[in-house]
Amino acid sequence: MVIDMHVHPLLYQEIYQSGSGPTGFETWESEFGMGHMGPMGFDELEAEMNAGDISRSVLLPIDLTATTGSALATNEQIAHLVEAHPDRLWGFASVDPHRADAANVLEQSFLELGAKGLCLHPAKQCFDPSDPELESLYKLCEEHNRPVLFEAGLSWEPAAPLNNSNPLTFERAIMMHPDVRFCLAHFAWPWVREMVALMLKYPNCYTDTSITYLDAPKEMMLRLFTVDMGPLWYERSLLHQVMFGSNTPRFRAFKLKGALDAVPMSKEARENLYWRTALRFLEGEGA
């Protein structure tokens, strides 16, 4: 059993729209920074999930209303996909913090669309995670027991500078909101050790494994767990804070799962990595 905590549904045929409109496929290709790939039916998507033992995929939108006037999947599109495939998909919401109605949109997504958390991309959405305009969003997440997933570290998206993605940029938000669970995605690569430091200091700080930027997945995962970190750091100190995430469609989940299968670790550590920690992140300590 595996929960994939990091999926962008940009190739899902059910929400595909041609053209360069706010949610058109040409816009997604441009704003997400991906080469042309055709949309896929759910049978094909599900076959890939099954190949990697992926039980659930968590779908992440990115609202770019105030910056580009577009969205890398809307909250409504995410809800539509989850409703169509409730046994395989969960969904997050995204709001552009610069929107005047950001808090209202987020609460509606929690209450009416069933969103399980909030996805934000400070580098792409052009905001500082510690900016006071975020306070209403963090408060809603705390009130509704919903976590926050930040895109962090290297982002392939254009107009998303690395300077805004260093994990230390997020520290104040994490520190000031101890009752909100935060995930800094992609192990905040290349700042892996800074990411580790944040997790050591803040138990409400998590990360995911979607970092296949160099080499093959097997080589990248082995380096992450044995070189970038000491070979026992994860098991001894970070056992409840690291989750499986693929960054589909940029990376293929079943390939990343195969790469992680080859990394030596105990059964407990592997179960936590593949699904237990994700449930705790999504639902809180009682999960």
The answer to whether residue 41 sits within a structural domain is no
The answer to whether residue 143 sits within a structural domain is yes
Mean of pLDDT values over 156-182: 92
Would you state the pLDDT for residue 35? 64
Backbone CA torsion sign across 128, 7, 62, 143: negative
> What is the per-residue pLDDT across 13-41, written as a single tens digit (0 to 9) for each?
998 887 777 777 777 676 676 666 778 89
**Residues spanned by the domain of 99:** 2-10+49-283
Q: Are 45 and 12 in contact (CB under 8 A)?
A: yes
Asked if residue 99 has pLDDT above 80, the reply is yes
| Residue burial 30-41, b: 16+ Cβ < 10 Å; e: rest | ebbebeeeebbe
> What is the per-residue pLDDT across 183-218, written as a single tens digit (0 to 9) for each?
999 999 999 999 999 999 999 999 999 997 788 999
The count of C-alpha atoms lying within 13 angstroms of the C-alpha of 18, restricted to the half-sphere facing its C-beta, is 1
Phi, psi of 199 (to 5 degrees): -65, -35
**What is the distance between the alpha carbons of residues 8 and 282, in angstroms, rounded to a whole number?**
17
Number of domains, the chain: 1
The answer to whether residue 256 sits within a structural domain is yes
The answer to whether residue 39 sits within a structural domain is no
User: What CATH number is associated with residue 103?
Assistant: 3.20.20.140
The answer to whether residue 31 sits within a structural domain is no
The answer to whether residue 34 sits within a structural domain is no
The answer to whether residue 43 sits within a structural domain is no
The whole-angstrom distance between residue 255's C-alpha and the CA centroid of its chain comes to 18
Mean of pLDDT values over 239-256: 94
The answer to whether residue 16 sits within a structural domain is no
